[in-house]
Structure 1
């Protein structure tokens, strides 16, 4: 049996958050688009990253570009 990557446990809300952040590339912009506080978005993305066992986004000063794993998840 193949080892799980944790993505089957994502909620629809978490998936929306990942997709918005991957598209917009900024926690601030994605949070505004989703109408949630940036801290909520950050915590949910961190939970998804723990479930997947890999960082999905690089946390830079003003941007959050998707890592390879983040891009693969967003395109799946």
Structure 2
């Protein structure tokens, strides 16, 4: 995850009134691998159940709670930006 997106998550948590104690998966929308997610899981985590079709590079851990509770949207995609930009 890009540090700028992680910083936004922290900022959104601080700003959210009444949040209390919550646990969030602070993860990218997409997997950080050069092969599609389903192939990655079959190779590196063969016991992982895949219960639905996944987009090619969809993140294998959901950040849905971040989106729904905090309104988070990933802004920095490592595939679209060269390192160090």
Quick check: which one's helix share is greater? 1
The reply to whether TM is greater than 0.5 is no
Instruction: Tell me the TM-score normalised to structure 2 length.
Output: 0.31
Normalising by the residue count of structure 1, what TM-score does the alignment of the two structures yield? 0.33
